[in-house]
Chain A
Amino acid sequence: MELAVISGKGGTGKSSVTAAFATLGEKLVVADCDVDAANLYLLFNPEHDSEQVYIGGHKAVVDHSLCTVCGICESYCRFDAIKEVEGKIIISETSCDGCFFCSRICPTDAITMVRSDKSRMYSGSFRNGMMVYGRLAPGEENSGKRVSMVRDEAKRVAADKGMRTILLDGPPGIGCPVISTVTGVDRIVIVTEPTMSGLADLKRVHEVARKFTSSAGVIINKADLNEAMADRIEGWCGAQGITMLGRLPFDRRVTDSMVAGRSVVEMYPDSEISKSINKIWNNLIVNGKE
């Protein structure tokens, strides 16, 4: 079973909840699909069995000795990445989308496409199974392709080790990396928080999720920070027919555990939050097997 944890809004506690799920007992494969801001490995310190170049996009580079500054590339680029500055063609690395168009139409072959190879994807064992994650080199772009690479590697590792559950820690937002994270998964868990922003973003991310599965469920994290807002979110979920998986309390021990490099269920197994997380996970796994 492949299960994805997403949120819409950032910082609602996706990774903390994922870390707790991943350390409840069942050996599993956990994969960090938040490629921009991969953090779970900090808690799990996986022993790397494999390191792969995490292939990124291409960027156009001009050879000024061949360039005649004809401006054709600039006129065709639809990403506003090419500008003539003081008689020189300058391609903005940050705006270039890597489409190859300019390199193909340059009459003097002055543009080459350079592929970045500084980012890495790792897989290896941690104390409760296997972990797959990527590390983006600074300035490099994320993409659905990279998320797919992480998921493919997680599937390979799961098959290899005979593990049945793959847990995906998703990125925030609703765009390409999120869509790549949830496409084809068996279950989606949305972690939200009792704020206006949490609810607004939950609505948007649920619209994405429901295209892929009818069984997305919601966890309201830090619910006691604003019970009235938590009630409102639960009411909205009810009206939409979305499963409420449970509420979790705000608990500083979640952060304390993170600082100690552990999940809250490892550090404080008898706390209320750990018991709630345990219950939610059991329901998810039971429902997943139906």
Chain B
Amino acid sequence: MKIAVASGKGGTGKTFVATNLYNVLSTRGERVTLVDCDADAPDDLLFFTAEKISETEVTHQVPVISKDACTWCGRCSKWCNYNAIFYVPTAKVIEVIENLCHGCGACSFACNSGAITEKPVVLGTVTSFRTDKGYPLVEARLRVHEMSPVRVIKAAINEAGEDGVVILDSPPGTSCPFIQTVDRADYVVLVTEPTPFGLSDLRQSVETLKILHKRFGVIINRADIGDCSVKNYLSEKQIPLLGVINYETDIARSYSEGRLITDENDIMAGFFAGLADKIISEHGTGSN
């Protein structure tokens, strides 16, 4: 089964939950893979000693326009919905603005004079690692200056396969990158914090997950700061509360130094093991 760990608001503890969930399952010897889908800011690897197994570049096809073959009909520019073809026929100017191109291929099809060929542009990489405990970790990494992580995220989830439990560490936000990640999951763990900002983003994530018909539950992190409005919201909407984690200096320090609290603190190890059991027994697909 695939479990996505997501949040809406950034910095609520997605990576903390995803890495520790993975750690307790792998320590127990279960088949588990971690996929870092936060391609903008991939940090999961910082918490593990891991060896690189393979790396694949994720590309999309952008047009290359031959001015010699161009008949200046303007169809390519008209078909491009991203304003990525700068076209001034009177001045004989036609240029591809690669940063705006989404690689849809419409312009190549639209061109009647064979003036458009395509070349691959690298959007990012998908890298497979094996941790020192022998478990797979897949990282999606957007290339700096590239615009959209979506293709890279999709490729990383595909790379992870379907074996055992696959944990998807989702990007923040509630739009495309978040949707592309949680849409692949059988169950979504939303990590929030009990503050007005946390609640506002939680609502947005919940509404989005409902549209996607996803099953989900919530973890409240740093539960002893802020107020009780998140708890009230969960009971009002009858959303399962999977657990609460209080703010503790030990946890913050361990995280800040790239360590896993489940390696250091038996109570936290027990908490994450219980969380994993609950999700897998209640929502596991049974097929894998």
Contacts and interface: CB of A to CB of B under 8 A. Distances in A.
B84 to A, nearest CB: 10
A17 to B, nearest CB: 13
Contact of A99 (B104, B144, B201, B204): B104
Given A94-B179, A174-B142, A229-B256, A200 B46 contact: yes
Interface residues of B, number: 63
Interface in B127-153: 142, 144-149
Interface stretch (B205-213, B236-244, B278-286): B205-213
A6 to B, nearest CB: 11
A70 interface: no
Interface in A5-43: 7-12, 15, 35-37, 39, 42-43
Contacts of A78: 60-61, 103-105
B180 A94 contact: yes
Interface string A174-190: 11101100000000000
Contact of B256 (A173, A174, A196): A196
B89 interface: no
Nearest to A14: B10
Given A36-B178, A136-B175, A140-B175, 7 more contacts: A10-B41, A142-B173, A175-B40, A175-B177, A195-B256, A201-B41, A226-B256
A178 B200 CA distance: 21
Contacts of A211: 145
A204 B200 contact: no
A289 interface: no
B200 A104 contact: no
A42 to B, nearest CB: 5
Nearest to B107: A101
* Residue of A37, A179, A196 ringed by the most chain B CB atoms within 10 A: A37
B32 to A, nearest CB: 21
Interface of B: 8-12, 15, 38, 40-41, 43, 46, 60-61, 79, 81-82, 102-106, 109-110, 142, 144-149, 154, 171-180, 183, 195-197, 200-201, 204, 207-208, 210-212, 225-227, 249, 252-253, 255-258
B195 A173 contact: no
Contacts of B195: 255, 258-259
17 contacts: A10-B12, A36-B173, A39-B196, A42-B200, A99-B81, A99-B106, A140-B175, A142-B175, A172-B11, A175-B148, A178-B40, A179-B145, A195-B255, A197-B255, A198-B256, A200-B43, A259-B196
A74 interface: no
Nearest to A38: B200
B149 A138 contact: no
A100 interface: yes
A195 to B, nearest CB: 4
Given A37-B10, A37-B173, A139-B208, A172 B82 contact: no
B173 A197 contact: no
Contacts of B142: 174-175
Nearest to B103: A78
A98 to B, nearest CB: 7
Contacts of A258: 195-197, 226
A124 interface: no
Contacts of A171: 173
A136 B204 contact: yes
Given A8-B41, A12-B11, A172-B172, A100 B196 contact: no
Given A138-B211, A201-B41, A259-B196, A94 B146 contact: no
Nearest to B105: A78
A236 interface: no
Contacts of B9: 10-11, 37, 39
Contacts of A173: 38, 40-41, 149, 171-173
